[in-house]
Amino acid sequence: MKFAILVNEGPFNHQASDTAYHFARAALDKGHQILRVFFYYDGVHNGNRLSSPQADERNIVARWSALAEQSGTDLAVCVAAGLRRGIKDEVLAPGFRITGLGQLVEAGIDADRTLVFGD
């Protein structure tokens, strides 16, 4: 099955990012395909390489980067939502890229299912 994932919440204020990450990891482990993870609204903070949680805390930004590196999953950050929140190319973590809402629409068309995490 082909999935598109939409993440609307930031990595440190809501469970949505963690849940989306664990879903994506489990789906890939079961042989499914993640066409794209699209980060929108406060979800764009998931791609900020400047976030620096303490060593004893989970680092969801690093987890997303590792997922992209290991699986080739496309991590797309909405340009408009990102710019409103200070997220530009120079602060993106590895594996993330800035793009427009058209990439979300495209993923939704090509996927068998689109899952939304967060409000």
Q: What's the whole-model pTM score?
A: 0.95
Spell out, as residue ranges, where the chain has pLDDT lower than 50: none
Domains identified in the chain and CATH numbers: 2-117 (3.40.1260.10)
What is the spatial distance between Cα 66 and Cα 88, in angstroms, rounded to a whole number?
20
Q: Which residues are catalytic?
A: 78
85-101 tens-digit pLDDT:
999 999 999 999 999 99
Distance CA(80)–CA(89), nearest Å, equals 12
3-state secondary structure of 43: helix
